[in-house]
Amino acid sequence: MAKQRRALPGFGLSLGVTLAYLGLMVMIPLSTVVWRTAELSLGQFWSTISSDRALASFALSFGAALVAAGINVVMGVIVAWVLTRYEFPGRRILDGIVDLPFALPTAVAGIALAATWAPNGFLGKYLHAIGIEGAYSRLGVIIALTFIGLPFVVRTVQPVLEGLDPRVEEAAAMLGATRLQTIRRVILPALRPAIVTGFALAFARALGEYGSVVFMSGNMPMKTEITPLLIMSKLEQFDYAGATALALVMLVVSFGILVAINGLTWRAAERRQAIRTPAEPAPTAVPPGAASAGGEL
């Protein structure tokens, strides 16, 4: 096998181009973070990332990303369920629109959400009347992060729901399970890996999000300032060391999530490989988009 593969040309060229491009575009720029942080003493580094303003921004960024990803798990499973199981007019259009947050520039998402949720906005004015601020508040951050994370859970759960063998559900029903028991004991366990992956993708994306949040949060330090915005304001004050220290924390967390997601994906692929029987041959072609079940982080 290995010998046969070597028969193909272009190993040196393709790997060389790949390594050179990634080296220049990704690895050298990323290494500057380490170089900048090394200029700080451990004490300075610690005081930067444990200042009240930094801690408040971490709490908001992580907390809001967690809440938004949680909302997306619940709503995403329901949306995926309705899109795959029920027949209604406009289903295909709706199915296409789910990807809108991937395609829509984040700045446009931000002003669109502000126009909807601000005190004078379409929905915001009703919320404002009963004393709830939909924009320029922590709720605004959560709304923005929910919007941009919306497709992830839907798009990871949907293919699994489509692939479920209806005979399994029929068997459960024949054996006396109620519909609720079938969903809880048969369907949900099958969806769990996809839900976890979708949650992680939505959380990771929400953690780094900037464009939509700046228009929706009001950007008040200590209250509605997310970490990427704090990094931005430190850069604007030419406090590069401080910005880098915060960025390093974010990078370590995002990198951890990325490794976990890739680990989950590989494990799921290996499991599929393992349970594939000879009667059910490997699919010969992977349709476009199958890889980016969650799409762009």
Partner 1 sequence: MKGRSRVCTEPVWVRAILMIVALGFLAVFLVLPLGAVLYAAFSKGLDAYIAAVREADTRSAVRLTLLAAGIAVPLNVCFGIAAAWAITRFKFPGKRVLVTIIDLPFAVSPVIAGMLFVLLFGAHGLIGPWLLGHGIKIVFAIPAIVIATSFVTIPFVARELIPALEARGPEQELAALTLGATAWQTFRRVTLPNLRWPLAYGAILCTARAVGEFGAVSVVSGHIRGETNTIPLHVEILYNDFQYQAAFAVATILIGIALATLIGKSFIEWHAGRGRPSH
Please report how close the Cβ of residue 207 comes to partner 1 at its closest, in angstroms: 7
Please report how close the Cβ of residue 51 comes to partner 1 at its closest, in angstroms: 18
Pick the closer one to partner 1 by CB: 49 or 257: 257
Closest CA to 107 of 216, 206, 209, 212: 212
Pick the closer one to partner 1 by CB: 30 or 222: 30
Please report how close the Cβ of residue 52 comes to partner 1 at its closest, in angstroms: 21
**By the 8 A CB rule, do 56 and 219 touch?**
no
Pick the closer one to partner 1 by CB: 41 or 284: 284
Pick the closer one to partner 1 by CB: 190 or 232: 232
| DSSP calls for 217-267 | H---TTTT--HHHHHHHHHHTT-HHHHHHHHHHHHHHHHHHHHHHHHHHHH
Residues 6+ apart with CB under 8 A from 209: 65, 106, 144, 145, 148, 226, 228
Please report how close the Cβ of residue 139 comes to partner 1 at its closest, in angstroms: 14
* Phi, psi at 12, each rounded to 5°: -60, -45
